[in-house]
Structure 1
Amino acid sequence: MKVVIVPYDPLWPDAFREHQRAIENSLGHLFPVVDHIGSTSVPGLAAKPVIDILVGLAADELLDKTVEPLTRCGFTYFRKYEPGMPYRRFFALLSMPPGETAPPLVDIGDPFVTGGPIPSLVNIHVMVRHTYHWKRHLALRDFLRSHPEVAEAYAAVKIGLSAREFGDTNEYNAAKDAFVKSAEQRALAWWKG
C-alpha cells in the first residue's frame, strides 16, 4: 500500500474541534484534557489526512474506563497494541467500505491494521497526563510549530516515503521513526527550556 501525504488543510483544526467536543461529552466524567497532535496539528505541514488526538487522564486506572464510552461513539478500540504500549489506549474512527460496519474491538492477535482499503480518519491516543509519552507528543507538536525548518524537513521525509510501498501504516511509521525520535529528543529539550 502507498501512504497518501497531502498538503496542509486549514479545515483540519475544525475537524479536531468537532471530535474534541464528542470526546469531552463522552468522557466528561473522567475530566480529560484533549489536544490536537500529529502533523495535522502543525499549520503548513503536509500530512496523512488523519486527525490525531491526545486524551490526557489523571491516572492509569482511568485508561480502561474510556473503552466503553468511545466505542459507543463509533471508535474502534485497538487492544492489539497494548502489549507494546501498555501506557496507551488507542482508538480509531475507520472509513469502512459501503455496507460494512467498523468492528468495536481489534484484539491482541487480530491481523487487522489501519491503512490500505480501510483507512483511519481519526486516531485517539489516551494516556496519563504529565508522563513522558504524553509530554513527547505535545513537545513535538509545539517544536514543529515553532521551527518551520524542522517541519519542512519532516514533510520531505514523509513525501519521500509516500513513493514507497508498505504492508501497512505500522511499516510506514517504522520507516520515519529515526527522524521522529531525533526530533522528539530535540523537542523535549527545547520544551523543558
Structure 2
Amino acid sequence: MSLTSPIKPYDPTWPEQYSIEAARLRPIFGSALIGIHHVGSTAVPELAAKGEIDVLAVVKSDGGLEDWSGSLVALGYRRGGDLSSGHYFFKRDVNGARTHKLHVCLDGHGQIARMLKFRDHLRKHAEDRSRYQELKLRLERENTSGIQQYLLAKEPFIRDILANLD
C-alpha cells in the first residue's frame, strides 16, 4: 500500500514552499502565535522525503481553535485527528495529493522540542541523515498497510536519536 505521497529526492524548492505557506498561515493565529517552523524531512537539506511540507505552529493557547479551523478550511486545509492533547493536526491536499501538514501545538508541548531537535540533528549529522533516508526508503518499499505502518516503523530510529541528545 502506498504512503500519502511517494518519497523522492530532496527538492531545493521545499524551503521556499514552506516560506510561502508560513506567510499564508501566520495571520490566522494572530497574537496567539509564538513561532512557526519548518519541520519534518522537507526541512532537512539533502534528505529524501515525501513532498509534503510540515509546518509547526506554536501557540500561546488554543482558545481560537474553532476560528482557526474555519480560516484553515478557507486555505484548503482540513482537520485531521488530534495527535495528543494540545497537538492539533491539519492537512492540505491539492489535486488529490497531500502538499502540507500543519501541527498546531500549545507552548510547552513535548512534540515541539522533539520535532525541532530531530530536524536540527539531521541537518548537522550527515551519517544519521543517510541512515534515516535509507530506513525511510526501505520502509516505503516494504509497506503493506499504509502511512501508520510507516510512521510506527520509523519511531524507534527517531526515539534512539533523541535519547542520545539528552
Per the normalisation by structure 1, the TM-score is 0.78
Secondary structure (helix, strand or coil) at the match of 2:89 reads: strand
Equivalent pair of 1:24/1:32 in contact (CA under 8 Å): no
Indicate the residue corresponding to 1:18 in structure 2: 20
- Aligned partners of 2:68 and 2:161: how far apart in 1? 30
Q: Relative to structure 1, is the Cα distance of residues 184 and 60 closer, same or farther in structure 2, using a 3 angstrom cutoff? A: farther
Deviation string, structure 1 residues 106-148 (Cα, Å, up to 9, x no partner): xxxxxxxxxxxxx421000000123321111111111111111
- Aligned partners of 2:131 and 2:137: how far apart in 1? 10
Secondary structure (helix, strand or coil) at the match of 1:91 reads: strand
Indicate the residue corresponding to 1:59 in structure 2: 61
Structure 2 residue ranges without an equivalent (≥5): none
Indicate the residue corresponding to 1:2 in structure 2: 2
Q: Give 1:60 deviation, angstroms.
A: 4.3
Indicate the residue corresponding to 1:112 in structure 2: none
Secondary structure (helix, strand or coil) at the match of 1:162 reads: helix
Aligned equivalent of 1:46, options 45, 48, 59: 48
- Aligned partners of 2:128 and 2:98: how far apart in 1? 26
Deviation string, structure 1 residues 24-57 (Cα, Å, up to 9, x no partner): 1222242341100000001101111110010000
- Aligned partners of 2:71 and 2:148: how far apart in 1? 26
Q: What pairs with 1:155-174 in structure 2 (closer than 5 Å)? A: 155-174=133-152
1:148 aligns with 2:148: no
Indicate the residue corresponding to 1:87 in structure 2: 86
Q: Counterpart of 1:95 in structure 2: which amino acid?
A: V
Once the two structures are overlaid, the 10-residue window that deviates more, 126-135 or 24-33, is 24-33
Q: Relative to structure 1, is the Cα distance of residues 185 and 71 closer, same or farther in structure 2, using a 3 angstrom cutoff? A: farther
Q: Relative to structure 1, is the Cα distance of residues 62 and 32 closer, same or farther in structure 2, using a 3 angstrom cutoff? A: farther
Q: Counterpart of 1:48 in structure 2: which amino acid?
A: K
1:123 aligns with 2:101: yes
Per the normalisation by structure 2, the TM-score is 0.89
Identity of aligned residues (%): 27
- Aligned partners of 1:46 and 1:148: how far apart in 2? 13
Q: Give 1:2 deviation, angstroms.
A: 2.7
Q: Between Structure 1 and Structure 2, how many residues are aligned?
A: 164
- Aligned partners of 1:126 and 1:57: how far apart in 2? 7
- Aligned partners of 2:73 and 2:161: how far apart in 1? 33
Deviation string, structure 1 residues 40-88 (Cα, Å, up to 9, x no partner): 001101111110010000134454542122122110111xx22x51221
Greater strand percent: which structure? 2
Aligned equivalent of 1:35, options 37, 52, 55: 37
